[in-house]
Amino acid sequence: MITEALLYAATMPLTGKPYRKFIRYSVNLWSRASRCAAEWADHEEKSRAAIRTAAADLLKKRTAVVLGSGLLRDAPIEDLAKSFDTVVLVDLVHLASVRLRLTAKTYRNIRLIERDLSGYDDLAAGREPEPLGFLRSVPYLDFVVSANLLSQIGRGVKRRYEAETGGMPGDTVERLIAAHLTGLSDLPCRSCLVTDIAYAVIDRNGRTHEEADLLYGVSPPPAKAAWTWPVAPLGEESKDYRIEHKVIAAW
């Protein structure tokens, strides 16, 4: 708890005021990722491998953007920094530990942007959501990655939608998930989507007690790779159950 508190305190002054409310979530994710490092290693490597493969045969490698860069665990940041002239990392929060890691590596071609990628505010204002519309202003854009972000958008939007009373369409979650996928498919460059699409709660005897679609019925593009991510192994949330997510990669 002391380490988490220090990380929270160190990140606070580095984060814009609109995004400080999300620091706690990022710190909690950092803490879980540390505890579950061994169980998450295969998922993280498969995510990185999918992104490497998607970018491998690009003729031009000027600017790459990573949406949902998070803890820098599931995107091959070092490879991207070596291959592309500029790499832009976009997320709600860039933890102090992430910033320190980038500084220690002395990357000179990495830029950090804080941004809400959900499109919720546009929809709330009555505008057609274009959460990835800002990418049109990124010069020399050759590659965009959505890194284990889409289901997080869905869950975050659902929590916000349920907490607020009235004013939002009943299909808010589905529309914003679809807007993200449309934004990727409409890009004039190659994109790579890595996302968890479903979860299952499984007991220690292997019996499934609960399943859910993390994309709320919105169909993702055809997968070129798929695997299971043990998000919460036995003992993380319960001594009797584990939680597994199904992950796909598409490009």
Domain membership of residue 36 (yes or no) is yes
Domain membership of residue 206 (yes or no) is no
Q: Which pLDDT score is estimated for 150?
A: 97
Give CA–CA dist 173/155, Å, rounded.
8
Domain membership of residue 246 (yes or no) is no
Domain membership of residue 101 (yes or no) is yes
> H or E segment at 126?
none
Q: Which two tokens stand for residue 34?
A: 């540390």
Give CA–CA dist 198/12, Å, rounded.
33
Give CA–CA dist 117/223, Å, rounded.
22
The pLDDT confidence band at residue 60, using thresholds 50, 70 and 90, is very high
- pLDDT tens string 211-243: 999 999 999 999 999 999 999 999 999 999 999
Nearest CA to 156 out of 68, 54, 82 is that of 68
The pLDDT confidence band at residue 164, using thresholds 50, 70 and 90, is confident
CATH code assigned at 60? 3.40.50
Mean per-residue pLDDT for 50-62? 98
State the total domains in the chain: 1
Mean per-residue pLDDT for 2-20? 96
The three-state secondary structure class of 209 is: strand
The pLDDT confidence band at residue 187, using thresholds 50, 70 and 90, is very high
Which domain covers residue 178, as residue numbers? 2-187
Give CA–CA dist 39/45, Å, rounded.
11
Write the CB contacts of 157 (distance below 8 Å, at least 6 apart in sequence). 118, 120, 172, 173, 176, 177
